[in-house]
Every structure is written in structure tokens, then in C-alpha cells.
Amino acid sequence: MEHTTKNKDSISHVRGTSIFVDDISEIRGTLQGLVFDSPVAHAHITSLDISDAERCTGVVKILTYNDIRGENQIGGIIQDEPLFAEKEIHFQGQAIALILAETLAEAKKAQKLIQLTYTELPVVTSVRQAHKNGRFTNASRTFRKNDAEKIFAKCDYVFEGQVFTNGQEHLYLETQGAYSVPLENGNIKIYSSTQGPTSVQKATAKVLGVPMHRLEVEVNRLGGGFGGKEDQATAWAAMAAVGTQITGRPVKLILDRHSDMRMTGKRHPYESDFKIGLDKNLKIKAYTATFYQNAGAAADLSPAVAERTLFHATNSYNIENVEVTVHSCKTNLPPNTAFRGFGGPQGMFVIEAAISKAAEALGVSAHKIQELNLLKDGDEFPYGQIASETLIQDTWNKAFTTFDIEKNIQQVADFNSKSKYFKKGYALMPITFGISFTNTPMNHARALVHIYQDGSVGISTGAVEMGQSVNTKMVLVATLTLGISPEKIKIETTNTTRVANTSPTAASATADLNGKAVEMACKILSNRLKTESARLLHLTDIKQISIKDNQVFVSEKLVEISWEELVLSAHLQRLSLTENAHYSTPEIHFDKSKEKGHPFAYHVYGTAFTVVSIDCIKGIYEIDSVKIVHDFGKSLSPALDFGQVEGALVQGIGWMTMEELLYNEKGRLLSNSLSGYKVPDIFSVPKIIEILPLETVGHKHAILKSKAVGEPPLMYGIGTYFALENAIKQFNPNYKHKFNSPLTPEKLLNALYDNHPNEF
């Protein structure tokens, strides 16, 4: 069954019957919310006149910061982000007011009548400028292992370079939104499209000036999050709830696509400097990097994202001398936020660039340097964790043998020697990704399991379903642990009154954390039911009793007690059919004062081999194939996990090749619609994607040995960038690596002819 398990939502998605926030039946009296946001990126507000707008037909109220009864503050890690702008505007798209009207059309009319005057202030969009001005959202951090600067002097080769990786729009299909409904006595229920129900509850309680227990946050599922709703779903929920608090009416606030693209933060763009030192055997002896992270106008999750950049700065390599520093630079862009990989991809791109730079200068293939430096058991990461159960070399070797990579490389060379205007390039991309929230205290979860007296089961956890199939995985965990069929199990909505104080659904760790809690609760219930079976069968020992296929077995022999009979009997014996379990990841710790510890429960490994073809007349390209050996552990459901690998890979390729986020010098988003921002479609995905699981025993901290899979494969997409640059070099021998992503067809065409030795 496991192998063919589909996401249990797939049928309702296809039929259009799945319910997202905007699909919730509206209660009579519901007001529609519309945000009035800043037209400029940095300014002093001199006046805000809402009087004409408030007189419009259908307008009930226009909220500004003056209407907030608690604190006008939604900053998660650092309290630096107002819900509504007060005296100053810090980015274009910053919320200033919320119009509440009977209909959206009326709200839109009123929006045009709000009068804002301001004096513009200098806009900073560049990280280097922000760095020069000493403008940071949070403290800079450095991870250090031994002494890199000292070792450079002893290296046979030292190379330096600069790198740019752009941001990325999340483009979840369901835009941000919330629906706030008044309950009795001033209590409020918020339906939110959030990855972090508790973050919404906590921040909203602060804004409303009420204790958390007055707010119930409910999440059915998201139409995608990709990190964009880990922290940034909060504002809309808080605004809607303020509306309910002030008017006593339900308030719905859904961003349209353009507003969502304009107002929300994205993956952080990074500029980085690197220095790499090697000995004559191509062993990397020393590596330093400085990362300039474009945090935007407020910290949001930037400190945590920055931290993960440092954790993954050496990717899959063991380097004895390392010093890496990250600066979270404060600019006048919308606050940037979590995005699949969470700063890891930005860090990994830079070490891959450094290796490619060395390879280019030394006239060797980058994969030779990669291979010679792969991690093995016992190596120490720059953050102090000792590598164990390391599988990077296994995935690398298996890729080489199974995919016959040496032969493929030869074929690429043969093709290039014969073809003048079409060229091919290849790259290898090993990945090593740490699983756990890097902030240790976040690594815990709870599950509430009810067995109803008819034998059906309802499970609540803190996990949010957003397409990654975590609910289906929870069903599998319960099915296997209770020994009953999946149809008997329902996963309830994620609701703060049933499961409280949750960490967001993020860090790829949701199935592990919540799944372990489900497993624990189900085990306790199962043992209780086995005890009841023993009573019914007059046995003294439950060891020989098992429950499977909805039946009771004694010493593997079927006895005539069905699951339903057993459950009812336990209920009549006045046994509890409910369990609430708590799981917290063992062994992990991290000391920020030393920047050393053991932050990850385990690592996920993999190797991708990418081949691309470029058309040197048109500058267009295709990805011939991406072949991957991936460490799933012992996959609970290969069908679901393969889907995550494919989706993440293509999202990574989009980031590296075509998704070009553009702001002008005034901080205005130019790539502000789907006509100007290109995401991968069916025509741009690799012609061949081959995924080969590495056969392993899995890891004890992974749910039923099935390793986390949500984010790591995104970084396979980085290989496409290097494969393209390598193809360019085949046509233009004077081309030198630029490390400037995304490598759009426009940039690629220029690269083909810039400084080309021949006349055309």
C-alpha cells in the first residue's frame, strides 16, 4: 500500500471541492477587508486623510494604527515590525490602513479616496550600501573552524570571487489571507492560511491586547506555503482580527495576486565574497565567505535564515579551516522571509561557485574537486557537529555507477566537439542538509489522538498540510502503529485549541516531529487496547498480542475480536480512548556564544547529475536530464517523497535560471505580475528526471526511519546553473564564471558573445 499512497487531498483538489480560506462559507454580516499600502519605499508620513474614503457607501470603518488596542507590533524574532505604518514608511507595499466594507467593490472605491502625503527619504536597496551605512536588522554572526586566514598563506592555490543569488517569489497558488469570526464574550476565531498557527495566535493576541486563549486559530490546509506563510501570514490575520475586535463583525481579508507579490517578502537575495585555498592535490584547505543578506525593512525570519546559511556554507565538504560571516542588511524592500531551503541554498551556491572558480583556473573539472573533498564519518562541521551515518559519498558513488556518469561526460564532450551552435554542459551537485530547526527550542510537537467508540480515529497535530502530504504521512504512521486501515483515520484541522504552542510547519521537520508524537500516542492506545484484549481472552501477558488488519492476533493467530469490538469493549470498561503525546528531538543542542554544538538530529544527503543543452544562436536552453541519487532513509511513501523531490528540484531550477526578481532604485518591484516574473512550466522542466533512492536503514530520529524530504532537493537545482555556465564556456572560450543567478536566456545570450575570440 505504501508505495502507491497518494496525497489524500488529490481527489478533492482535482474536483475543486478542497476548502481554502477563500472557500469558507461566509457568515451573514461579513465585512471585506482591503489593504491601503505605501506607494513609496521610504518616507515620513506628513498626513493621512481617510475622511472621504470613510464616507463612501458600504464602508464601515477604516483601520489605522490608531485603532490598535494592544501593540502595533508583529515582529516574530525581533520586535521591529509595525502592523500598520505610523510616522514612517520603510518599504513599498507596507500596510498603512485597512478598509472594511460590505463589498470588495465598495472597498476598492474607497481605497482611491484615501489621501496620503509624505516626504520621501533616501531609498537603500543594495546590501553593500546598507552594510556601508551600518544598517542591519540583527547582529552579524561568524562560524569558525581553526584558522583559515593563516592557512591561505600555505596553500598552493588561492582564489577569490564574488557571487550574487537573487530572491524568489513564493507563488503559492493560494494567496495570503484570513477570515476572522467573532465568538461570544469578545473571543475570536481566525481561519488563516498560515504555516504557523501559534505565530498567528501569539502576534494577534499582542496586537489586540488580549491573552492568547481568547483567540482560536484554525487551519484546514494551504494552497502552498513554501516558507512564505511561516511568518508572513500573520499580518493579514492580525488585521482581520482587529477589524472584528473593533466592529464586532466577521472580517475577510484575501490578497489578490498583485498585492501579494508587492506586499510580501521573498527569498533573500544575497551578495557574497569568497576565498578558497587548495593544495596541489586539490584538497580544499581553507575557505572564507562573507554573506550580505538582503533582509529588507524588518528582521522577520532573517536571523534564522542567516544562521542556516552559515550551517550550510560548506555544503557536503570537509574543510579543516573555515571562517564564514553573515550580515543581515537592512534595506527598503519588503522584509524577506523563509523560502524552501531557508538560507541553505544561498550558502551552498557560494561554496559551489568557489569550487568552480578553482576548477576554471586550474583547468580541471569541478567534480574532481568536489569528489576529493566529500564528507565522511568523523569529520567535524564548522559548527562542531561530528558527521555520522554520513551518506554523501554513497550517493555520489551510486550516481557515478548507476548513471554511468563518466560515459555521459564523454558523450557531452563528443557532442561539443562535433556541434558548432549547440553546446552541452554538465554539473554535479552533492547536497548535505541538516534536519531540525536550527533554533533548538523549536524542536518539539504534540499529537492528540481520539479513538471514537465506533473504532474510527481522529488525529490532531500541529502540522499544517500545504501540499507536502504531511497529513497523508500522519495517516500512514497511525495506520502502521495501530494496525488498522487508513480509511478509519481522519486527520483533523490544525487548531490551536486542540494542539497548542506549536512550532510552524517548516524546516522539513514537520513529519518527524508531529509523526513521532502521533506514533507515541498511538502506541499508548494500542497497548491499552492490547491489555483489554488480554482481559477478554483471559491472558496475563500482552506480549503475544498484536493488532493488524483491523483484527486481534495472539501469537500471530487470528482470534475472533475485531478492532471495532475491541474498541467498544474498552469504552464500556471505562478506559480512555484518547491520548495526548509530546515529542521533543533528543540529543540536539547548540551554544550560540561559541557557535558550536550538535544542532541537527541528522542530515539528508544526495547527489544530482545535470546535463543541459544551449542554443548558441538564440540563447535559449533546455535541461536534458537531472539524475539524482537521494537518501530518503526508509521511505514511508516513495510516491509522496518523489513528488517532493521533483517539485523542489524544479523550484530550485526556477530560482537558478528564470525567476528574476527586479526592484528599481526606488524600491519598486518591477517583476510584479506573472507576465513579468517567469516560473518554470511543463515546457521548462528537465526532459528527464530520474530519482534513485539510496537503499539505507534510515535514521532513528526520522519518522519510522523515513527521512525529511521537503527542502533538501531544492538545492539539486543549483547544478543547473553550473551546467549552463559550463556549456557557455564550450562556445565562448573567453567566458569566465560570473556566478550571477538567475542565468536567464538574456544573460546567457550575452555571455555567449561577450569577449568572444571570433567575429560574428
Residue 619: HSE in the Cβ half-sphere, 13 Å Cα cutoff: 14
Least separation in angstroms between residue 467's CB and ligand MTE is: 3
State in Å, rounded, how far the first CA of the chain is from the last one. Answer: 60
**Contact flag: residue 403 with ligand MOS (CB under 6 A):** no
Q: Indicate which single residue of 37, 169, 216, 230 sits in contact with ligand MOS (rule: CB under 6 A).
A: 230
Q: Among the candidate windows 218-226, 435-443, 692-700, 738-746, which touches ligand MTE by CB under 6 A?
A: 218-226
User: From the list ligand HPA, ligand MTE, ligand MOS, none, which binds 107 (C-beta under 5 to 8 Å, kind-based)?
Assistant: none
Identity of the residue, 170 or 738, whose beta carbon is nearer to ligand MOS in the bound complex: 170
Based on CB atoms, which residue is closest to ligand HPA, 38 or 264? Answer: 264
Map the footprint of ligand MOS across residues 335-374, applying CB under 6 A: 338-340, 342
Give the C-alpha separation, 460 to 496, whole Å: 10
DSSP state of 31: E
**Amino acid found at 309:** T
Q: Does 708 bind ligand MOS (CB under 6 A)?
A: no
Q: How far is CA 194 from the centre of its chain?
A: 13
Rounded CA-CA distance 288/152 in Å is: 10
Contact string (CB under 6 A) for ligand MTE, positions 339-378, x = contact: -x--------------------------------------
Residues 209-228 that bind ligand MOS (CB under 6 A): 225, 227
312 to 341: interface string for ligand MOS, x by CB under 6 A: --------------------------xxx-
From the number of C-beta atoms within 10 Å of its C-beta (0-12, 13-18, 19+), residue 541 rates as exposed
Q: Which of ligand MOS, ligand HPA, ligand MTE, none does 656 bind, CB closer than 5 to 8 A by kind?
A: none
726 neighbors 426 (Cβ within 8 angstroms): yes
Give the nearer residue to ligand MTE in terms of CB position, either 660 or 711. 711
At residue 753, the 3 state secondary structure works out as: helix
Of 31, 405, 511, 525, the one binding ligand MTE (CB under 6 A) is 511
CA nearest 100: which of 294, 243, 254?
243
CB 448 within 8 A of CB 498: yes
What DSSP letter does each residue of 712-749 carry, written as one string?
GGGGGGHHHHHHHHHHHHHH-TT-----EE---HHHHH
Q: Which three cell numbers stand for residue 125?
A: 536597496
CB of 441 to ligand HPA, least distance (A): 10
Q: How far is the CB of 514 from ligand HPA (least distance, A)?
A: 15
Residue 511 interacts, among ligand MTE, ligand HPA, ligand MOS, none and using kind-specific CB cut-offs from 5 to 8 Å, with ligand MTE
Here the cell at position 504 is 510552524
- Smallest gap from residue 222 Cβ to ligand MTE (A): 7
Q: Which of 508, 502, 513 is nearest to 584 (CA)?
A: 513
State the nearest-atom distance from the C-beta of 376 to ligand HPA, in Å: 25
Cell numbers given for 161: 570571487
**What is the dihedral angle through the alpha carbons of 21, 24, 30, 35, rounded to the nearest 10 degrees?**
20
In the residue annotation, 711 being an active-site residue is answered as yes
Taking the least distance from each CB to ligand MOS, the nearer of 486 and 643 is 643
Nearest to 323 by CA among 176, 140, 52: 140
- In the 3-class helix/strand/coil scheme, how is 249-260 assigned residue by residue? CCEEEECCHHHH
**Between residues 125 and 468, which has the closer beta carbon with respect to ligand MTE?**
468
Contact predicate 532/577, CB 8 Å: no
Contacting residues toward ligand HPA, per CB under 6 A: 230, 301, 304, 308, 338, 342, 437-439, 442, 506-507
Residue 710 in contact with ligand MTE, rule: CB under 6 A: yes
Q: Does 510 bind ligand MTE (CB under 6 A)?
A: yes
In terms of CB distance, is 195 or 533 closer to ligand HPA? Answer: 195
Segment 36 to 65, residues that bind ligand MOS, using CB under 6 A:
none
Q: 329 or 714, CB closer to ligand MTE? A: 714
Q: Which does 528 bind (CB under 5 to 8 A by kind): ligand MOS, ligand MTE, ligand HPA, none?
A: none
Among 508, 507, 502, 499, residue whose Cα is nearest residue 459? 499
Nearer to ligand HPA among residue 338 and residue 353 (C-beta) = 338
Smallest distance from ligand HPA to CB 595, Å: 15
Minimum CB–partner distance for residue 225 and ligand MOS (Å): 6
Phi and psi at 427, nearest 5°, equal: -155, 155
Nearest Cα residue to 350 out of 421, 293, 304:
293
> 557-580 in b/e burial notation, b at 16+ Cβ within 10 A?
eeeebebeebbebbbeeeeebebb
Q: Which of 225, 296, 303, 425 binds ligand MTE (CB under 6 A)?
A: 225
224's contact among ligand MTE, ligand MOS, ligand HPA, none, with CB below 5 to 8 A by partner kind, is ligand MTE
Partner that binds at residue 369, options ligand MTE, ligand HPA, ligand MOS, none, CB closer than 5 to 8 Å by kind: none
CB of 98: closest distance to ligand HPA in angstroms? 27
CB nearer to ligand MOS: pick between 427 and 507? 507
Catalytic residue among 271, 323, 711, 725: 711
* d(C-alpha 268, C-alpha 278), whole Å: 30
Those residues whose C-beta lies under 8 Å from the C-beta of residue 703, and which sit 6 or more positions away, are 473, 477, 511, 512, 515, 516, 519, 636
Point out which residues bind ligand MTE (CB under 6 A): 224-227, 340, 466-468, 470, 505-511, 644, 647, 708, 710-711
Which residues are marked as active site? 711
Point out which residues bind ligand MOS (CB under 6 A): 195, 225, 227, 230, 338-340, 342, 506-507, 711
